[in-house]
């Protein structure tokens, strides 16, 4: 029987009786429809997860009893930092969700010249919270015990200046492929554009910051397809996709 996993932003210790916050309580009570003594798995992003049993479910309160702790990591040995040009609606949500499943270390939403979505200052916090929830639910589903970091929305020109490791940006007009490069200190900083791609000025800014243009095959891919294809290829070459147990 599959046991549902739940991320909680609180300290966890075996034997504790926890009162869940309103959002988690609603999820357990209304979405999962769990009852007293039903099993759960809880984690808080520290790399450790806990078995748990539902102790109490009421209209106003849900409590769980923590059981044994298990240190279990499914994190890639490759630190993959992902800068993603903000796309419209579901495309952005989908790209963030799948990037978490594919094992990225952190995600930064980027404002670019061809960003269609206008993110006003008073809406940035709301957008960030929305994407954070998507990342948490993706981590719950794919059995990660850590939730990737979601950094603040920044302009592309600021983000590229802060990155280290092997720095790559996706460009359908590039001459090099992933086979032509190697990670630096087991870290890759990957830059992916929005719909419409990068302007020439943005390409120049990225190159000046040490980013190498990379082409993913002969076809021009949609922004969300290119980003996830690149993450998958990087994980296959240098991460944990090629690792077979046993």
DSSP state, 210?
T
Same domain, 188 and 84: yes
Q: Does the pLDDT at position 175 exceed 70?
A: yes
Question: Which pLDDT score is estimated for 122?
Answer: 75
Q: Does the pLDDT at position 70 exceed 50?
A: yes
Which one has a higher pLDDT value, 118 or 128? Answer: 128
Q: Does the pLDDT at position 228 exceed 70?
A: yes
In a domain, 246, yes or no: no
Question: Which pLDDT score is estimated for 118?
Answer: 75
Same domain, 93 and 28: no
CATH of the domain at 25: 2.40.240.20
3-state secondary structure 182-205: CCECCEEEEEECCCCCCCHHHHHH
Q: Does the pLDDT at position 1 exceed 70?
A: no
Q: Which two tokens stand for residue 240?
A: 């944990």
Question: Which pLDDT score is estimated for 120?
Answer: 75
Phi and psi at 189, nearest 5°, equal -105, 115
Q: Does the pLDDT at position 29 exceed 70?
A: yes
Question: Which pLDDT score is estimated for 246?
Answer: 46
Phi and psi at 153, nearest 5°, equal -65, 125
Same domain, 103 and 194: yes
Sequence-distant (6+) residues with CB within 8 A of 124 are: 152, 153
Question: Which pLDDT score is estimated for 196?
Answer: 83
Distance CA 20, CA 134 (A): 19
Per-residue model confidence as pLDDT tens digits over 152-169: 999 999 999 999 999 999
Burial of 95 (0-12, 13-18, 19+ CB in 10 A): buried
For range 77-87, the mean pLDDT? 95
Count the alpha carbons within 13 Å of 97 in the hemisphere toward its beta carbon.
13
Q: Which of 33-42, 69-78, 89-98, 111-120 has the lowest mean pLDDT?
A: 111-120
DSSP state, 91?
H
Which one has a higher pLDDT value, 125 or 244? Answer: 125
Comparing CA positions, the residue from 178, 161, 165, 16 lying closest to residue 79 is 165
In a domain, 151, yes or no: yes
Q: With beta carbons less than 8 A apart as the criterion, state whether 165 and 184 touch.
A: yes
Sequence-distant (6+) residues with CB within 8 A of 1 are: 39
In a domain, 155, yes or no: yes
Q: Which residue's entry shows tokens 């990670």?
A: 183
For range 73-99, the mean pLDDT? 92
In a domain, 114, yes or no: yes
Count the alpha carbons within 13 Å of 208 in the hemisphere toward its beta carbon.
11
Per-residue model confidence as pLDDT tens digits over 185-226: 999 999 999 888 899 999 999 999 999 999 998 888 888 899
Q: Does the pLDDT at position 243 exceed 70?
A: no
Same domain, 26 and 109: no
User: Domain of 56?
Assistant: 5-71
Which one has a higher pLDDT value, 221 or 134? Answer: 134
Question: Which pLDDT score is estimated for 223?
Answer: 85
In a domain, 11, yes or no: yes
Q: Which two tokens stand for residue 19?
A: 């009162």
Same domain, 47 and 110: no
Query: Taking all residues of the chain, what is their mean pLDDT, rounded to a whole number?
Result: 92
> Which of 71, 90, 124 marks a domain boundary?
71
Q: Does the pLDDT at position 234 exceed 70?
A: yes
Same domain, 144 and 230: yes
For range 119-141, the mean pLDDT? 89
Q: Does the pLDDT at position 245 exceed 60?
A: no
């Amino acid at each position: 029987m599959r046991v549902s996993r739940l991320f909680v932003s609180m300290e966890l210790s075996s034997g504790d009786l926890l009162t869940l916050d309103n959002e988690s309580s609603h999820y357990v009570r209304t979405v999962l429809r769990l009852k007293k003594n039903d099993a759960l798995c809880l984690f808080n992003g520290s790399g450790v997860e806990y078995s748990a049993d539902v102790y109490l479910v009421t209209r106003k309160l849900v409590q769980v009893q923590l059981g044994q702790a298990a240190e279990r990591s499914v994190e890639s040995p490759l630190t993959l930092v992902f800068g993603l040009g903000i796309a419209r609606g579901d495309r952005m949500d989908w790209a963030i969700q799948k990037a978490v499943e594919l094992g990225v270390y952190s995600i930064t939403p980027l404002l670019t010249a061809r960003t269609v979505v206008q993110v006003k200052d008073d809406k940035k916090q709301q957008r960030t919270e929305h994407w954070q929830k998507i990342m948490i639910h993706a981590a719950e589903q794919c059995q990660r015990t850590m939730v990737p970091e979601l950094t603040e929305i920044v302009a592309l020109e600021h983000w590229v200046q802060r990155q280290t490791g092997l720095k790559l940006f996706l460009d359908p007009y590039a001459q090099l492929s992933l086979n032509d490069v190697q990670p630096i200190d087991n870290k890759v900083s990957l830059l992916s554009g929005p719909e419409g791609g990068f302007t020439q000025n943005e390409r120049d800014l990225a190159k000046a910051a040490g980013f190498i243009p990379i082409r993913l095959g002969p076809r021009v891919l949609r922004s969300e397809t290119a980003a996830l294809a690149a993450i998958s290829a990087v994980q296959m070459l240098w991460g944990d996709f090629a690792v077979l147990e046993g």
